[in-house]
Structure 1
Amino acid sequence: MMQRTLLFSLLFFTFCFGSHARQETVATLRDDSRTMDVSSYFSYWIDESGHASLEDVMQANQKGQFQKHTKKVINLGFLNKPVWLKLQLSNQAQRTKEWLLELNYPLLDSVTLYRQDEAGRWLSETIGDQVPFARREIHFRNPTFPLYLYDNSRVYTIYIRVKTSSSVQLPAKIYTSNAFQEYTIKSDLAFGFFYGCMLVMLFYNLLLFAALRNLNYAYYCVYVIGYTLAQAGLQGHGFQYLWPNSLFWTNVSIPVLISLGLIGAVLFANRFLYTKRYAPRMRIVLWVLFGINVLDIPLSFFLPYQTMIKPVVLSIIVDSVIIIAAGIAVYRAGNKAAQYFIIAWLAFLLGLIATASEAFGLLPRTFIFHYGHLFGAVIEVVFLSLALADRINVIRKQREEAQARALAMAQENERIIREQNIILEQKVRERTAELQQKQEEILTQNEELQQQREEILAQRDFIERQNQELQAINEHLNKSIQYGDRIQRAMLPSKEEILQYVRDFFVIYLPRDVVSGDFYWFNEQEGHLFFAAVDCTGHGVPGAFMSMIGNTLLDEIINEKHLYNPAFILEALNDAVFKALRQDETGNADGMDVALCRIDKIDEETFELTFAGARRPAYVVKDGTLVELKGNRRGIGGTMSQKLEQFENHQLILHANDCIYIGSDGFTDAANPEREKFGTKRLKTLLQLYYKESMERQRQYLIEELENFTKGTPMRDDVLLMGIRL
């Protein structure tokens, strides 16, 4: 009885304050209104208590607690409390009395619609992704309710209660039956195209994986499965067709499937791009992303949806950007197969950006922009398949070339065998005749052979004695060379001595033979720091003798003659070598290439570099920019060197943590099995890439890069490279 009295009172107040209702916006339906967007006609009220009844809501309406949203579509973000919507409708259509109301957001947990029948009784229907799908009167992926509006003179009031752990987004449209059917057909065709493309790519690459057993295809399939099922969950198709009765899985499937897709994407990127070789640091970053995505899966089963969905969605953007960056890094490092990969992920990222921009109002609400992430995904999987197919084509081409070479070789072998058989038959005939002739000579030759045997035995004993003597001489020479190596290394400055004056330092010193024609030199005189990298003519013992001469002359010029101008020092070194080797008399052309640096400290953070080079440059990396200081095209020593231009100084102001690199041409001239040189351009790229690392790490990275490039090819020359951090 009390409930009836309360309901009567509410109806009375509604009648008495009808003027207030008339002031609110009423959505008017007409015969030409096949479709009407009613999102802006909603007013809403947040149920702070969480358990308000319909009567409580009607009282809140009478008190004016319902409010209009400031934007076209209500979007309240993540809200743990129920939201009540109010919609007023007036049906002025003469032919259409039955309409359909669709909330175009499939992730709402519970949606209850309250409407009055013709007798004024309140009826309700509850659907959502936390209600079994079979309970829906309209079997559609988005929450959809039938509306029966038979009285043209009446304003119908509808209340909708929404409670969800996902984002509260409430775009809504009203359709006629025919318009709704056309809308569902177009929607199903569009999504059918998307799912069809994804399934075709999935089965195609599954077949390739079964045939080739290449893990690239397996990781790619994991990504396609995860992303496709995640989209099915986001668009409502998963709940409609795949798991209509699994309410718990519906709530956790989206973060789990997105994370699964990202795991496949990261594994595919790491293996396809071969980051272990081309981008080792990006490989570490990708493995970190892999660990985060793996951790998101079990967390999704225990943490609330609204807690997990935010970092998971953020991971899509972050993973995509980092994967693109890894592709670009690998492409720049020389792996041209990354071009399709980069295009694919850029298409996916642009699709995400288009959809997000449309959601925030930066782009118009169109079909292309609204489903931009799906179009981007389709383009992405197509280009990723092209990337994998490109690899198959390369393998097939290599196989065909190998088969062609094998066939040509087989034909050539067959020709050679035929010719050899003819020659062999002729020789057999000749040999038969010779054997008959020589058979008579065998007895005589046996006596000669016996005599020769005795001579051979004597010669063998003599050779054994000679071998022993040569072995002793060789051991003596090796010991001498090893001792020369110790002497030469003792001549070189120690790392501890250099670190007294600079922040950090490394040297790569790799003689081709035991001793080297390259050497590095350091000294400090009257506050001036001198660094030199010298490449002498030749290598091995001759080069080592030249290095001893060069080291001695530098000590004499700087330490004894106190000559501190780098250009003048090179001139003096050139004259000294010319005189020491008496090149004007002998015509001897031996000499050396020199990179000479003088560093002067201006204050604690500022330094002045003065550089002069004899056919060797210096590389300076400051603030991430590499500056090359070129030396003169003139070397040290030789008669031709006396006729060229004077050596010149190059000066540069540096700051703390800037790096200077000097060395011989042995690093850049190192060759791989294809006889390609390592090259100056590659060295410059690596110096810019690694300069922020510690000097010891830089040394390790550079040696690894050199070894990976040469692949065991014997050294052509001595290798010397120095790095100094101010």
Structure 2
Amino acid sequence: MHIRIRLRMAVLLKLFHLLVFLLVAALGFGQRISGEATLRIDDNWNERIYAIDQLEFFEDSSNSLVFEDIIKVPFQQNFKINANFSKNDFNTAYTYWVKLSIANTTDSDKKWLLEFYDQSIDKIEAYFPGEDGIYQRRFMGDNFPFSNRLFNHKNFQLEIPNDQDRIENFYFKINSSQKADIRIAVRSLDRFIHYALSEYFLFGLFYGMILIIAFYNFLIFLAVREMKYIYYILYILSVGLYAMSLDGVGFQYFWPQLPELNFIVNGVFSFFIIFWAVLFTIRFLNTRRRAKKFHYLLWFSLFFKSLIFLTGLLIDKSYFEISYFDLVPFLLIFSAGIYLLLKNFQAARFFVMAYGVLFTGVFIKVLASYAIIPHHTIIYYSLHFAFLIEMVLLSFALGDRIRIMKEIRDKALRRSLSQYKENIALKERVNLELETKVRRRTTELEKKNRLLEQYNQQLQEKDEEIKRINNLLDKDNWKLKSSIRNSYKARISQQSLSREEFANIFPDQSACYRYLEDLKWGRGFSCRQCGKSKFGKGPKWFSRRCSHCGHIDSVTAGTIFHGIKFPLEKAFYILYASFMVKEKITLDELSASLNLSRNTIWAFRKKVNQKVLAAGDGQPSWEEMILLYPLPS
């Protein structure tokens, strides 16, 4: 693992050294000369660069001066060189008049140009002498369409006439809504072509690497389907667009006819850099679980930055100039990475290195902006180098995280495999024990089955004996029932039973139902609907269902007791007391004895009388009286 890390660092350092070498070889360090009142053109050199602290300028706080005012001889003494002035001292509310004196050399074999480095300056009015000595005016700046420029180049160029052997003064009126880095380069056309081609070549390398890294991570996303790769891709694309807006390349190629966007795109793309960087950090470092305090601080910084961005977008675009707050989210990102690295979160190694390089580039850029360190081309593009190295390191971080996750997965698989082997061995031991127990239990069950078979054989023999005894009992029972029926008939026909004696014969409804069942169907069942003899049990006790037609016949149907609403044993006694005894019992006596109303007893006796009269043939017997059919309605 350590060998792979050292190889990656070696490749990264080689790449950095190669880019530095290409930039230095292609562009060189512009010769920053000491303050001079007049620059003389000389073919022995190709380039001279003047910073604001080397130029004669006047700060117009009233913004009321025009070219006719400053061209006057008495006013010329106001143009002075201020060696302590820097970009940080630039006041966006003032107008700056810059003067550059150039001594022509007519025998020069080169064509010469004058160029402004800072392509973010809003408006430059350049006044230069023509062949007739009359000053001409040319407008430059990012407030004008890109087609207004002398060359298709991101910077502002002005051709220097070198036909007259004289000293010519160039005046520039500069206004900018953001702090301008007033830096003028005087260079030959050959030097400009070489510089421009080399610069755009390096731009192609820079933006090409951004696209390659984005495409590479997109392919990884298609394989692993993790959202942090999308956040990282959007982050590096935002970095590329932000760098284009700073370089002026975006204005040249994407919105050349919309100069009003130049003031907006920096704020928009810088916001998206922070937005996607915070989301990527939260997902990559898993701050919600590993570092909750940093998790909430990152969300709060993103919320506050979003408020500033929306205020600038909807209310006042000057809020886009508030750039010092942009350091807060990146400081939190860097601190979160260091915190997790100290907690031995290995995936944060390249992450911390990446943002360490970024902060180094930002620090160098800030030092150059405040003129703390001298301006050089390599320093001017320090942020580009920092972004590029950061993106490479973050790609390493993502790959390293996958490698760490793969190692964790492999360890888990090895543990799972070891556990699986242990489980298989345990399963085999358990199966062996179970087979032994099953064989032992099977032997025991076979013995018990043989015993059960013996017991079953004995039970079958006993069952046969019981059936034989039951048959004998059935015969005895039938004889006994016949004797009881004869006894009932004899006793009832004696017409001398008391209430208690009659109650002993028919003590409850069940006894009455059994008597009726034997009386109706004792000699066999015959369906009253179809006359068939096969039957089954009915839905109620003491009822039968015809197997042929399904007719249900209750035990009281077809008897004198059909449809009564009082207890059956009382109806039995009313029938006996009213029609079978010699001495009739009055209604009042029956009512008191049976606890029934006189009307109920009278109605039942009337019903019986009507059936007896309808049947004719004199006084019927007890059984005949019971089986009398009801009168037709």
- Do they superpose with TM above 0.5? yes
Count of residues paired in the alignment: 424
1:544-559 superposed matches below 5 A: none
Structure 2 counterpart of 1:323: 333
Give the 3 Å change call, closer, same or farther, for CA 93–431 of structure 1 in structure 2. Answer: farther
1:102 aligns with 2:115: yes
Please give the alpha-carbon distance, in whole angstroms, between the structure 2 residues aligned to 1:448 and 1:409.
Answer: 56
- TM-aligned CA deviation for residue 31 of structure 1: 0.8
Please give the alpha-carbon distance, in whole angstroms, between the structure 1 residues aligned to 2:241 and 2:74.
Answer: 41
1:370 aligns with 2:406: no
Q: Which of residues 272, 276, 280 in structure 2 aligns to 1:260?
A: 272
Structure 1 counterpart of 2:494: none
1:385-424 superposed matches below 5 A: 385-400=395-410
1:120 aligns with 2:136: no
Please give the alpha-carbon distance, in whole angstroms, between the structure 2 residues aligned to 1:326 and 1:432.
Answer: 68
**TM-score, normalised with respect to structure 1:** 0.52
Structure 2 counterpart of 1:131: 144
Structure 2 counterpart of 1:158: 170
Q: Which of residues 187, 195, 203 in structure 2 aligns to 1:183?
A: 195
Please give the alpha-carbon distance, in whole angstroms, between the structure 2 residues aligned to 1:419 and 1:413.
Answer: 10
- TM-aligned CA deviation for residue 38 of structure 1: 3.2
CA deviations over 1:425-453 (Å, ceiling 9, x no partner): 9999999999988864551477999xxxx
1:236-275 superposed matches below 5 A: 236-275=248-287
- TM-aligned CA deviation for residue 299 of structure 1: 2.2
1:204-603 superposed matches below 5 A: 204-302=216-314, 306-309=318-321, 311-312=322-323, 314-400=324-410, 440-444=450-454
Give the 3 Å change call, closer, same or farther, for CA 93–444 of structure 1 in structure 2. Answer: farther
1:55 aligns with 2:68: yes
Task: Kindly name which structure, 1 or 2, has the bigger radius of gyration based on alpha carbons.
Answer: 2
CA deviations over 1:258-278 (Å, ceiling 9, x no partner): 111111112222232222233
- TM-aligned CA deviation for residue 174 of structure 1: 1.0
Please give the alpha-carbon distance, in whole angstroms, between the structure 2 residues aligned to 1:180 and 1:72.
Answer: 27
Give the 3 Å change call, closer, same or farther, for CA 291–423 of structure 1 in structure 2. Answer: closer
Secondary structure of residue in 1 paired with 2:125:
strand
Please give the alpha-carbon distance, in whole angstroms, between the structure 2 residues aligned to 1:131 and 1:386.
Answer: 42
AA partner of residue 125 (structure 1): R
- Is 1:31–1:93's contact at 8 Å kept on the other side of the alignment? no
Structure 2 counterpart of 1:85: 98
- TM-aligned CA deviation for residue 101 of structure 1: 1.0
Please give the alpha-carbon distance, in whole angstroms, between the structure 1 residues aligned to 2:37 and 2:315.
Answer: 41
Over the residues paired in the alignment, what is the CA RMSD in angstroms?
Answer: 3.7
Greater helix share, structure number: 2
- TM-aligned CA deviation for residue 249 of structure 1: 1.8
1:65 aligns with 2:78: yes
Structure 1 counterpart of 2:493: none
1:687-698 superposed matches below 5 A: none
Q: Which of residues 195, 206, 209 in structure 2 aligns to 1:194?
A: 206
Please give the alpha-carbon distance, in whole angstroms, between the structure 2 residues aligned to 1:135 and 1:307.
Answer: 29
Secondary structure of residue in 2 paired with 1:173:
strand
Greater strand share, structure number: 1
Give the 3 Å change call, closer, same or farther, for CA 61–336 of structure 1 in structure 2. Answer: farther
Please give the alpha-carbon distance, in whole angstroms, between the structure 1 residues aligned to 2:216 and 2:325.
Answer: 28
CA deviations over 1:543-598 (Å, ceiling 9, x no partner): xxxxxxxxxxxxxxxxxxxxxxxxxxxxxxxxxxxxxxxxxxxxxxxxxxxxxxxx
Give the 3 Å change call, closer, same or farther, for CA 146–76 of structure 1 in structure 2. Answer: farther
Identity of aligned residues (%): 27
- TM-aligned CA deviation for residue 349 of structure 1: 0.6
Give the 3 Å change call, closer, same or farther, for CA 362–68 of structure 1 in structure 2. Answer: closer
Please give the alpha-carbon distance, in whole angstroms, between the structure 2 residues aligned to 1:29 and 1:71.
Answer: 27
Give the 3 Å change call, closer, same or farther, for CA 325–426 of structure 1 in structure 2. Answer: closer
**TM-score, normalised with respect to structure 2:** 0.59
- Is 1:133–1:240's contact at 8 Å kept on the other side of the alignment? yes
CA deviations over 1:365-385 (Å, ceiling 9, x no partner): 344433222222222222222
Give the 3 Å change call, closer, same or farther, for CA 448–263 of structure 1 in structure 2. Answer: farther
